[in-house]
Structures are given as structure tokens and as C-alpha cells.
Amino acid sequence: MGLLSLGTPLPWKEVQKYADHVREHGIEQFLHIWKNTKDERGNSLLWGDEVEYMVVSYDHENKSALLSLRQAEILTALEENEKRQRKIEDELGVGSGQRIPTFHPEYGRYMLEATPGQPYTASLEDLLNVERNMNRRREIAKEHMLPHEIPVTLTSFPRLGAPGQFTDPYYAPIGNASRSFFLPDELINPHARFPTLTANIRERRGSKVAMNVPIFKDKNTPSPFIDPTVPYDRNLYPEDANARQGAALPDHIYMDSMGFGMGCCCLQITFQATDIDEARRLYDQLAPLGPIFLALTAASPAWRGYLSDQDCRWNVIAGSVDDRTEEERGGRPLKNQRFVIPKSRYDSIDYYISQSRECRPEYNDLDLVMDDKLKKKLTDAGVDDKLANHYAHLFIRDPIVVFSELVDQDDTTSSDHFENIQSTNWQTMRFKPPPPGTNIGWRVEFRSMEIQITDFENAAFAIFIVLLTRAILSFKLNFYIPISKVDRNMQVAHRRDAVINEKFYFRKDIFAPLYHSHDVQSNGSETASEDASVSLYSSDANASTDSIVNKTVKPVEEEYDMFTIDEIINGRKPKPTSNGPLSDVEDEMNEFPGLVRLVQDYLDSMSVDVETRCTLNAYMDLISKRASGELYTAARWIREFIRGHPKYQFDSVVGSEVNYDLVRTVEQLTLGNEWNGAGESLLGGMSGARYRSS
Ligand code: ADP
Ligand code: MG
Ligand code: MG
Ligand code: MG
Ligand code: MG
Ligand code: MG
């Protein structure tokens, strides 16, 4: 959607002059879309995933696994293949009944992204096509690579930016776009957009980006750890001084370039809602799940040749595109800039947008920075306060890349300026308006998950999230907690083995009670109330509508509690209270059912054929066991693989041969091979590739 429009990208100095122009016309474009589609109802569920791959090039002789920079050649071959397939189907006049996967470029010149080709439908049987399609994508990708190249779905490549060679071919870590100590610019997709993004983020910020991930202190890791691989004395670019001036922290793995973040792979899911209101509800309801599924899918324990003491990519990407100036980051008083901005443009969402009654104002407890002029433009045009706030907040950002040919647009037909800002707000959730001139509806994207090693796992997580949206809608589930608590969960999710060791804020009573706002007393305290929450989900749902409506409101702090991820996913028994044993009724009410049971109950309410149900049960089993710790996350599995390798010196260093053996083992798992039981702790005996044709 204009993302890869061809043209001449302006340098940062020029882009600045157009910032207001892009923002104002972007909002204008949004208003056209909104006016045309806000009343559309009855779109069906369509959904699709995005899987990102790294292309690995083996050098078997030197026991080395490198990142192949042949993205362009591979994509060209894949595009021709896709055209050929579509032509054959057209000529035969019948579809093969299978979707023809589509491949896209990504930031890294070693990366590919693939989507199913056509979205999946609401039919439960269609869920069987997801893993099949993912297997097929991997096969097709491999068919268009060289014999020594393979697609792998690792979230972070352990030796990206490590000393020596990590790309094929080799390039010295020098380049004017990123000015990195560690990554050559040749690693960046050469399309003008990407080097320009990289350079303009650095220029806007006024320094290189700086990510510091805590190092995993192993038996032989020096303490304090002062990284010998940081070239503190280099004087090639002015920004080389950043590291000496404190950007590189002791006891941390320092990274200084966009590629460390945008060069990671992830798993994203997009759903179409029936209408704008449902999309807004799903956006909100899925937001608190972002950190939970980040921890559950954790898959990135190694960075720049070192083991880290965190398991997830998120804060690395957030830092890697953090274009805020020092003033905006609060480092010095505001003088040249308009706002102090608490977060990077890549981060967890700041604001709930649903107009449903469950969305209590207290949940939006972050100070929202907004562009007041744009907010007025939105509300003057009739947009409600919440949606206006959402966009007035996203549109505090500057455009980073502007193509000179695309400055003037027809706002009634184009969404280019809108997408310029919208799609460079990379957040845990994205609210996607219909692209003009299409019959696509309002959509919501779930963006926090890390990519999994096998397609079996990726299908499991993609499908679980989709089924969860169905359960949310059917049972009117309510996952709201204050958004500041979601932020805190996001930080905790990064910790090593967070999935089994940490507790997360989560809502206790998830069966959306429909409160009347007049039940809240002016002092905010609860009115006298006989019953606890009432379920819309249980069998008495119809009977008790009145009591639900007249229910009183608990203080927000009583609505949530600390949960382990095991409890969130697999449920928890009621806590005994000081008043002695619970009655059966209280017992029922205090029990938290767990997300797996909610999805199972949803499936029970549908007619599902045996084959579909068995497959879905296997996916839910995986997620359930990841949550309980019976199966490892990819992060834990990778960490243990590295620490168990005979060449590992217990000094946190992930050497080239260790990396090579890791990638070869990962390849075997993606092919569904047992490889002496290597994947047992990850997959528990399930094949990672059940539908491969070869
Ligand atoms: P982006 O990179 O902007 O997030 P992509 O086009 O790469 O978007 O991927 C979007 C996903 O949404 C794909 O899996 C695609 O199959 C799916 N999709 C396409 N059309 C629809 C639709 N109308 N509703 C929901 N999902 C859709
Ligand atoms: Mg995409
Ligand atoms: Mg994208
Ligand atoms: Mg992508
Ligand atoms: Mg996406
Ligand atoms: Mg979009």
C-alpha cells in the first residue's frame, strides 16, 4: 500500500519541511476513508498470517551458517513462479482449491515475508489449511533458493553483527546510512525506502540508535562485562563518539543500528471485523494479550554473538527505530520540539479505543500526547473523541520517508500520507482502516508474537489467536486492565523464562458485565452490592440480564490480579479466603477458566468435524504445555542448545560453529525430522512439518 512506491526519497532536512503537510493530508485521507466506510456492517471474518524468514547460506566446509543477501533474486524467482501458477489456474479455468502463497520483501536483505495468498475464511475447516499453507510456503521458498540456502524462522539471528563474517557475501561493517560499528549497509534491503528510513531515523534522533540488552552471565563470563568487540576508538563517522559518551553500557550487549531490530522475524495475524465497532472492541481486547503471547512465543535469547539475559525481541526493535530527539526523550528541556514522548514509535499501544461500556475511562491511564490541531480536525468532522484521540496520538510523529513524486495527492482516493504515519507507528496492535477503492473492511492486527521454529508451532499460535477472537465475541469476554499494567507486563515478558517464572497482571472477572455508569458513586467507591460478577457465558446468561445491568462497579484495582501464564492459559482454582472454605457458587465465580478452556468451550458450541477438532487439539496442547513449562519456549530451547554444545565455553559467546549446529538442527525440525530427539523438549513428539510433500 504505497509502502514500496518507487520514487526519489527526500533527505531528512527536506522531509522536515513536509511533516505538517503529510500529517494534515494523512488525516484528511483518513476522514475520507472513515466517512465512506464507518457505517458498513456485516463483513465476514477473513484473516491471515504473516510469516517472516531469514535466508541462511551454509558454508559446510567451514561449519558456518551465514545470512544470504540474495533477497532480490529469490523474490524475483518467487514472483515469476506465482505468476506462472496463477496463469495455469486461469487457463484451466479452475482453481487448485489451494491458496497460492505470496512473498514480500522485508527490511533485511536476507529476509522474506510470506502470506497465504488469500485470506482464510470463517469456516473452521479452513483452519486445516493454515499449517499446510505454511509448509507449502517454506517448500516454495526453498525451491527458489540455491542448494546451500534454506529459509529459517528464527526471531533473532544469533551472530548478526558478531565479529568476522555473518553475511554471504562478506561486507565490512561500514556504511553511511546506519554508520553502525557492526552492520554493513549492504545488509539493508537496497530499495530506497529502507536505507533512507535508517539514515533519517538516525538524523532525526541526532545520534545512532542505542539498544543495550543485558548479557547472560555464565560461569566464565567476565564481571563486569566490558565488551571487547565494541570498537570504541573508531573515528569514521561523527556518531562513532556515541559509544564512548555512554551509549554502550557495561554488562550489556550494545547494538547501534536499525538492522538489529528490523532484522528480526515475527508472526503477525490480521483479522477483518464485521464493522468498525467490532474492530475497535477486538483491538482493545487483544491488547492485554500482547505481552502474554510475547512471553509465550519468546524466541530470541542471543544477540550479536552473545547469549542475553532476556528472551524476546520487542525492546530491541523498539530501540532500533527510536527516532525521538533527546528533548523528546526527556533528556533536556523542550526547546525545538513540540512534545516529550514517553515511547518509541515501535511499542505497546497507549490507548484503548472501543466505545463499548466495558471500556471504563480508568483503563486509559497513560498521559496521552496528542496533536491538538489534528484532534480538532477529526472531531470537527464528526469523529468521536476516542478515535480522534487515537489518531491525534499516532500523528504526533513525523514522517520519516517522503518521496518527492508523492507529495501532492488526491486525498479522496489516496491513503499514502495516512499510511506514511500509520504504518510507521509499529505497535503491539494495529487498527487498519479499509484501503480506499477496495472491498476490504476494518481490520485489526495482532503484532507482538515472535516467530516459531516450525510451521506446526506458527500455525498453532496463529489459529489460537483467531479462535480467541471468536470466543471473545461469542462469550463477550472482557480482558480490560489499566493500560499502564499492560506496559508493565510488556517489560516483564522480556525476562529470561518469564513464561514460567513471572507473574502478570490479568483481569480476574473476564465475563463482561454490562455496568451502568450511574452505578459508580461520585467518590468512585462501590455501592453496596450483594452479588459478585455475573457471567454472560454460563448457562444462566439469559436469566440474569437485569441483575447484570444493575450491577455495581468495583474499583478498577479489584478487577485484576497477578497471574502466572500457566494460570492465564490453563486456568486456576479459586484462592481460599480468610473466611474459610468457599461455597460452590463462590467457587465457580472465583475460578479462572483459562484461555484454552474458553477456546474449547467455543469449539464445543460449534459443529466441528473430528479431523479438524483433532488438529486444533494438538495446537492447544502445544500452547497449554508451553504455558505450564512442560515444553520449552524456543528461547529456552535455543539457550540450552547453545549451553549444551561441546564448543561453548560458558562465557556467553555464541561461536560460529555453535551457531552452525544450531541452524542445522533448526532446519531438521522444520523438515519434521527427529534428529535424535533434538526437538523433544520443544515439540513434545509432535512433528514440526506434517504436511510437507517431500
Ligand atoms: P501488513 O504488512 O500491512 O501487515 P500484509 O498484506 O503483509 O499486511 O498481510 C496482511 C494479512 O492479512 C495477510 O495474511 C492477508 O492474507 C490478510 N488479509 C488480506 N485481506 C484481508 C482481509 N480483507 N481481512 C483480513 N485479513 C486479510
Ligand atoms: Mg506484511
Ligand atoms: Mg508490513
Ligand atoms: Mg513483515
Ligand atoms: Mg503486518
Ligand atoms: Mg494498513
Amino acid at 488: R
Number of other CB atoms surrounding residue 614 within 10 Å: 10
Q: At what angle do helices 610-628 and 289-296 cross, to 10 degrees?
A: 80
How many whole angstroms from its chain centre is CA 51? 11
Number of DSSP helices (H) and strands (E) in the chain, helices first: 24, 17
pLDDT tens per residue, range 330-349: 999 999 999 999 999 999 99
* More confident site: 657 or 530: 657
Tell how far CA 429 is from the center of its chain.
Answer: 8
Query: Domain 12-465 falls in which CATH fold?
Result: Creatine Kinase; Chain A, domain 2 (3.30.590)
Region of poorest pLDDT, from 194-208, 439-453, 544-558 = 544-558
Tens of pLDDT, residues 588-637:
556 899 999 999 999 999 989 999 999 999 999 999 999 999 999 999 99
Which residue CA neighbors atom 11 of ligand 1 most closely?
48
Q: Is 430 in the pocket of ligand 1 (CB under 6 A)?
A: no
Least confident span in 180-184, 372-376, 381-385, 544-548: 544-548
pLDDT tens digits along 100-117 = 999 999 999 999 999 999
Whether 525 has a pLDDT exceeding 70, the answer reads no
Q: How far is the CA of 435 from the centre of ligand 6 (A)?
A: 7
* Residue 516 clears pLDDT 60, i.e. is over it: no
pLDDT in tens, 529-560: 333 333 333 333 333 444 444 456 889 999 99
pLDDT digits (tens, 9 = 90+) for 7-49: 899 999 999 999 999 999 999 999 999 999 999 999 999 999 9
Average pLDDT of the segment spanning 255-260: 98
Decide: 301 in ligand 1 pocket, CB within 6 A: no
| 119 pocket-lining for ligand 1 (C-beta < 6 Å) | yes
Q: Provide the b/e sequence for 106-124 (b: ≥16 CB within 10 Å).
A: bbbbbbbbbbbbebbeeeb
At residue 579, the pLDDT reads 64
**Residue ID of nearest Cα to ligand 1 atom 19:** 119
Classify residue 100 as exposed, middle or buried by CB count within 10 Å of its CB (0-12, 13-18, 19+).
buried
More confident position, 233 or 578 = 233
Mean pLDDT of the chain: 92
* CA 432 to ligand 6 centroid distance, Å: 5
**What is the pLDDT, as a whole number, of residue 548?**
47
Sequential DSSP letters for 13-78: HHHHHTHHHHHHHHHHHHHHHHHHHTT---PPP-EEEEEEEEEEEEETTTTEEEEE--HHHHHHHH
pLDDT at 544: 40
Q: How far, in Å, from the CA of 18 to the mean position of ligand 4? A: 27
User: Beta 111-115 vs 346-347: how paired, if at all?
Assistant: unpaired
Provide the 3-class DSSP secondary structure of residue 134.
helix
- Which pLDDT value is given to residue 573? 84
Burial 667-676 (b: 16+ CB within 10 A, else e): bbbbbbeeee
Pick the closest to residue 384 from 363, 356, 425, 411 (CA basis).
356
640 has a pLDDT exceeding 60: yes
pLDDT at residue 4 greater than cutoff 90: no
Rounded distance from Cα 426 to ligand 6 centre (Å)? 11
463 and 127 Cβ atoms separated by less than 8 Å: yes
3-state secondary structure of 576: coil
Arithmetic mean of pLDDT, 300-323: 98
For residue 115, give the ligand 1 atom closest to its CA: 14
Q: Give, for 151, the enclosing helix (H) or strand (E).
A: strand 149-152
C-beta of 513 in contact with ligand 1 (< 6 A): no
Q: Give the ipTM of the model, two decimals please.
A: 0.94
